[in-house]
A = this chain, B = another copy of it.
Amino acid sequence: MPRIVVDVMPKPEILDPQGKAIVGALPRLGFTDFVSVRQGKRFELEVEGEVTDEILAKARDAAETLLSNPVIEDVVNIQVVEA
């Protein structure tokens, strides 16, 4: 079954404590090449049958209403992934 991947990230101006904690821990594990880290969410929505434009529009709608909080997050990517 085809899947629709939805990527949600915190808005750039929003404080990202998880990202800060990770970027703080990386050097202690020997990783010194990364200047900043931001953590968001990745969803995979499985669809029965073909992914039409209409279904893709519904996925965007669901992403903006249920899968993300528009006050603090942005839907940064929606793409179809064949199973």
Interface, chain A (partner B; CB < 8 A): 1, 4, 7-9, 19, 22, 25-26, 29, 31, 33-48, 55, 58-59, 61-62, 65-67
Contact = CB atoms under 8 A, between A and B. Distances in A.
Contacts of A48: 33, 35
Contacts of A59: 34
22 contacts: A4-B34, A22-B66, A22-B67, A25-B66, A31-B58, A31-B62, A31-B66, A33-B47, A33-B48, A33-B55, A34-B47, A34-B59, A36-B46, A37-B44, A37-B45, A37-B46, A38-B44, A39-B41, A40-B41, A40-B43, A41-B41, A41-B42
A37 B26 CA distance: 31
